[in-house]
Homo-oligomer: A and B are copies of this chain.
Amino acid sequence: MYNPTVLTSPEGLSDGILNRDRRALSRAMSWVEDEHPGVDRLFRRLHGRTGRALRVGITGPPGAGKSTLVARLAQLLRARHAEVGIVAVDPTSPFTGGALLGDRIRMPELAADDGVFMRSMATRGSLGGLAAATHEVVDLLDAFGVDWVLLETVGVGQSELDVARMADVTFVVLVPESGDAVQAMKAGLMEIGDLFVVNKADRDGADRSVMEIRSMLALRDRKGRRPLEVKTTVAVDGTGVPELLDAVSAFLETARADGSFAARRRKVERWRLLQLAQRVLVRRLTIGEAGESALERLTDDVLARTTSPHDAAAELVEAALKGMAGRT
Contact with B along A83-94 (1 / 0, CB 8 A): 000000001111
From the candidates B44, B128, B188, B271, name the one contacting A310 in the complex (CB within 8 A).
B44
Nearest to A185 among chain B residues (CB) is: B93
Report the Cα distance A287→B47, complex, angstroms.
28
Give the A interface residue count (CB, 8 A): 79
The reply on A111 being an interface residue by CB < 8 A is no
Residue among A95, A186, A282 with most chain B CB within 10 A: A186
The reply on A289 being an interface residue by CB < 8 A is no
Report the Cα distance A47→B154, complex, angstroms.
38
Nearest to A319 among chain B residues (CB) is: B277
The reply on A28 being an interface residue by CB < 8 A is no
Nearest to A158 among chain B residues (CB) is: B159
The reply on A187 being an interface residue by CB < 8 A is yes
The reply on A220 being an interface residue by CB < 8 A is yes
Report the Cα distance A157→B305, complex, angstroms.
32
Is there an interface contact between A94 and B157, defined as CB atoms closer than 8 Å? no
Is there an interface contact between A158 and B123, defined as CB atoms closer than 8 Å? yes
Chain B residues in 8 Å Cβ range of A186 = 91-93, 100
Q: A47-B302, A158-B159 are in contact. Are A273 and B91 (CB under 8 A)?
A: no
Contact with B along A203-227 (1 / 0, CB 8 A): 0000000000000000110000000
The reply on A30 being an interface residue by CB < 8 A is no
Interface of chain A: mostly helix, strand, loop or mixed: helix
- 26 CB contacts below 8 A, A to B, read A39-B310, A40-B314, A46-B308, A47-B302, A47-B309, A48-B305, A50-B305, A62-B183, A91-B187, A91-B188, A92-B186, A92-B188, A94-B185, A94-B188, A100-B186, A127-B128, A127-B278, A157-B160, A158-B160, A274-B282, A274-B286, A278-B278, A278-B282, A279-B313, A281-B317, A318-B324
Residues of A within 8 A of B (CB): 39-40, 43-44, 46-48, 50-51, 62, 91-95, 100, 123, 126-128, 130, 154, 156-160, 162, 183, 185-188, 190-191, 219-220, 265-266, 269-282, 284-286, 295-296, 298-299, 302-303, 305, 307-314, 316-318, 320-321, 324-325, 328
